[in-house]
Amino acid sequence: MSRRHLEIRWDGQVALLTDLNSTNGTTVNNAPVQEWQLADGDVIRLGHSEIIVHFQ
């Protein structure tokens, strides 16, 4: 995992994930991504960490 690996921005309606040119990249639902509009249940992987997205 990079020191500045990714950014998630929320505009009030949409959450947008952006990989910050990390060394090993970011995957969402096992697919490599540079940018991704997040949806409920998406699985983000960075390094050995996994984040499951849930919106309320």
Q: What is the pLDDT of residues 35-46, one digit of tens each?
A: 999 999 999 998
Residues of the domain holding 24? 6-52
The answer to whether 32 and 45 are in contact (CB under 8 A) is: no
Flag whether 1 is in a domain: no
Flag whether 28 is in a domain: yes
Flag whether 40 is in a domain: yes
User: For 17-24, what is the mean pLDDT?
Assistant: 93
Flag whether 26 is in a domain: yes
User: For 28-53, what is the mean pLDDT?
Assistant: 96
pTM of the predicted model, to two decimals?
0.87
We report the CATH number of the domain holding residue 10 as: 2.60.200.20
Token pair listed for 41 = 């249940």
Which helix (H) or strand (E) is 23 found in, with range?
Answer: none
Token pair listed for 24 = 């090993």
Q: How confident is the model at residue 31 (pLDDT cuts 50, 70, 90)?
A: very high
Report the number of distinct structural domains present in the chain: 1
